[in-house]
Amino acid sequence: MAGALRAVLAFPSTYAVGITSLGFQVVWASLARRPDVDVRRLFTDSADPPHSGSRGRGTGLDLFGLSLSWELDGPVLLDLLDGQRIPRWSHQRGDDDPIVFGGGPVLTANPEPLAPFLDAVLLGDGERLLPAFLDALQACRALPRPERLRALAQVEGVYVPALYVPRYDQEGTLLGIDPVDASLPATVSKQTWRGESLTHSTVITPEAAWPSIHMVEVVRSCPELCRFCLASYLTLPFRTPSLERSLMPAVEKGLAVTRRLGLLGASVTQHPEFADLLHWLDADRFADTRVSVSSVRAATVTPELGRILAKRGSRSLTIAIESGSDRMRTLVNKKLDREEIVAAARHARDGGLTGLKLYGMVGLPTEEAADVEATADLLMALKKAVPGLRLTLGVSTFVPKAHTPFQWEGVRPEAEKRLKLLAKRLQPKGIELRPESYGWSVIQALISRGDRRLAPVIAAVRGRQDSLGGWKRAYRAVRDGEADTEGAPGDLPLPPPWQEVIHATWHDDRPLPWDHLAGPLPRDTLARHRREAIAFGLPLSAPSAGQPAAPSPPR
Ligand code: SF4
């Protein structure tokens, strides 16, 4: 269509990985569906054919978008911008350059480390944000760039970092981030999609990382509120589309072209009609369909679930236990007891599944070595109680995430030793351990709690994001003024000491880099959930007269 917005939607990885991201597919489909948008896709290894013709200005693009779901992909954004000849830093872009926008869980939680590269950040659900964002851009596209940015900043849930300025004290402590004038909202609120249906694949291809899979989102968010969990706290409320009106038609649509179905969501088995969905998929007409589900809550694993998944081609099931220690699970609000974990393993095996993957964490607040020993003990007990089931433990280090109660907790250095402890105990017993590198968790924490002073570090990391050493060298080079971060805004003071951002336990009245961005729950509620959890986890001395009663477990 003449006058269509020319857009590129980029993914910070290869085509196979990007096209397997349901979030990316859905944003792309929302852009492609609009007659007034001409969109092409860009991956690190391929791209759709360029737009035909050129309007002879800048890159010829009006819009460049990126969806980010992993902190460590930040530097790839800069490679993608360079590839399109778009100036890296927002303040270097002129009237002829596109609006560079980002979205996805990482940017919705804390966009500040990447803020100087982005013109706009869409906070929340794309279904809700994109139509208003695109309408606003269409309406202001002819205006000079500063006016375009101001117009976009008036759209609910759209954050324009250049119009918000951080304040620091003399020591470089962040005091707050304020709008440049009173015409802008002081707080930008995350937007929530409350429509009847959720998403499903719009592209089914044998070249995807999960070849030819049709993905259907069964639930959004999770009502469990585990105190560290971004997938729950950042995306509330828990949403469950109707089985008959929404999920069944979505499944049928995909199964017209493939026989591979993936049921996705933070906690799919908590859909109130999940048992009915399973029962429906048990019918003979789905006999040649392979069904897989993402991680499920252990307490919801039934013999029926094991049986139907095994019959439909799944070999294993994934449950997150977080820890084998009852104390740790209670502290993080996991609401899962040991018997339920053992029962889940039994049901999986009795149903015909051959493997069970468990996810755990080390380095949780107040954790002691004995809690990690309890995780090893639980795995050993499971092996004995449910012989014949292949057990795998995926384990990562706790990383604080913005907008969760544990955002104020730091990464605990003891975690590195505790990962080794688990390996020493479990590997000789034939239990497969898949630990996530402690070093990468440290970098993740730096980005998840950092502010925009990290942007020059991210710029200096470019080209070496695959190596931990590359990140460390970049940080040192920026601190010592040796990094080549050409074009970086000159008014950013040095980043705070990296150890502090990663490891320190922060007081809950400390100003946070994301305080001006409102998530689903108020800060006071998060602080209360954190206080209750930590109070529960603290070792109790013998009660004596006048001492407060022992705190009750968090709810
Ligand atoms: S059950 Fe899983 S998805 Fe739900 S809050 Fe807990 S960790 Fe997050």
Residues 6 or more apart whose Cβ sits within 8 Å of residue 357: 316, 317, 318, 319, 392, 393, 394
Q: Which range has the worst mean pLDDT, 130-144, 282-296, 478-492?
A: 478-492
Please indicate, yes or no, whether residues 264 and 339 belong to a single structural domain of this protein: yes
Test site for ligand 1: of 217, 219, 224, 401, most ligand atoms within 8 A of the Cβ: 224
Whole-number Å distance, alpha carbon 358 to ligand 1 midpoint, is 13
Instruction: Residue 279: give its domain's CATH number.
Output: 3.20.20.70
Residues in the chain: 555
What pLDDT was estimated at residue 539?
Answer: 63
Check: CB of residue 146 under 8 Å from CB of residue 91.
Answer: no
What value does the mean pLDDT take over residues 17-22? 92
What value does the mean pLDDT take over residues 474-491? 82
Confidence grade of residue 545 (pLDDT, cut at 50, 70, 90): very low
At residue 511's C-alpha, the angle toward residues 505 and 517, to 5°, is 115
Q: Is residue 554 situated within a structural domain?
A: no
Please indicate, yes or no, whether residues 165 and 220 belong to a single structural domain of this protein: no
Last residue of a domain, one of 447, 477, 501: 447
> Which structure tokens are listed for 268?
């799919």
Cα–Cα dist 117/161, whole Å? 9
Closest Cα partner for 466 from 44, 111, 73?
A: 73
- Among 67-81, 394-408, 481-495, the range with the most confident prediction by mean pLDDT is 394-408
Q: Tell whether the model's pLDDT for residue 295 goes beyond 90.
A: no
Cα–Cα dist 107/74, whole Å? 10
Q: What is the span of the domain harbouring residue 28?
A: 5-189
Closest Cα partner for 419 from 448, 401, 439?
A: 439
405-438 residue pLDDT tens: 999 999 999 999 999 999 999 999 989 999 999 9
Please indicate, yes or no, whether residues 293 and 431 belong to a single structural domain of this protein: yes
Q: Is residue 476 situated within a structural domain?
A: yes
Please indicate, yes or no, whether residues 437 and 316 belong to a single structural domain of this protein: yes
Check: CB of residue 262 under 8 Å from CB of residue 250.
Answer: no
What value does the mean pLDDT take over residues 533-540? 79
187-208 residue pLDDT tens: 999 999 998 889 999 999 999 9
Q: Which range has the worst mean pLDDT, 69-73, 79-83, 357-361?
A: 69-73
Please indicate, yes or no, whether residues 502 and 475 belong to a single structural domain of this protein: yes
Which atom of ligand 1 is least distant from the CA of 332? 6
Q: Is residue 548 situated within a structural domain?
A: no
What pLDDT was estimated at residue 52?
Answer: 60
Please indicate, yes or no, whether residues 438 and 468 belong to a single structural domain of this protein: no
Please indicate, yes or no, whether residues 373 and 463 belong to a single structural domain of this protein: no
Q: What percent of the chain has pLDDT over 70?
A: 95
What's the per-residue H, E or C state across 158-215? EECHHHEEEEECCCCCEEEEEECCCCCCCCEECECCCCCCCCECCCCCCCCCCCCEEE
Q: For the chain, what is the domain count?
A: 3
Confidence grade of residue 549 (pLDDT, cut at 50, 70, 90): very low
Q: Tell whether the model's pLDDT for residue 274 goes beyond 90.
A: yes
> Which structure tokens are listed for 32?
């492609």
Q: Tell whether the model's pLDDT for residue 555 goes beyond 80.
A: no
Find the residues whose C-beta lies inside 6 A of ligand 1.
Answer: 222, 224-226, 229, 231-232, 266-267, 297, 320
Closest Cα partner for 403 from 359, 447, 448?
A: 448
Q: Tell whether the model's pLDDT for residue 551 goes beyond 70.
A: no
Check: CB of residue 322 under 8 Å from CB of residue 372.
Answer: no
What pLDDT was estimated at residue 58?
Answer: 63
Q: Is residue 528 situated within a structural domain?
A: no
Rounded to the nearest integer, the mean pLDDT of the chain is: 91
Bridge partners (DSSP) listed for residue 484: none
Please indicate, yes or no, whether residues 281 and 428 belong to a single structural domain of this protein: yes
Q: Is residue 538 situated within a structural domain?
A: no
Q: Is residue 67 situated within a structural domain?
A: yes
Confidence grade of residue 474 (pLDDT, cut at 50, 70, 90): confident
Please indicate, yes or no, whether residues 412 and 465 belong to a single structural domain of this protein: no
| Burial class, 340, CB count within 10 angstroms (exposed 0-12 / middle 13-18 / buried 19+) | middle
Ligand 1 atom 1: the closest Cα is on which residue? Answer: 224
Please indicate, yes or no, whether residues 21 and 124 belong to a single structural domain of this protein: yes
Please indicate, yes or no, whether residues 120 and 18 belong to a single structural domain of this protein: yes
- How far does Cα 289 stand from its chain's mean position? 29
Q: Which range has the worst mean pLDDT, 89-103, 150-164, 318-332, 489-503?
A: 489-503
What pLDDT was estimated at residue 553?
Answer: 40
Confidence grade of residue 48 (pLDDT, cut at 50, 70, 90): confident
Residues 6 or more apart whose Cβ sits within 8 Å of residue 97: 58, 59, 61, 86, 87, 145
Residues 6 or more apart whose Cβ sits within 8 Å of residue 501: 445, 446, 449, 450, 495
Which atom of ligand 1 is least distant from the CA of 230? 8
Q: Is residue 194 situated within a structural domain?
A: no
What value does the mean pLDDT take over residues 117-146? 96
What pLDDT was estimated at residue 465?
Answer: 67
Please indicate, yes or no, whether residues 483 and 440 belong to a single structural domain of this protein: no
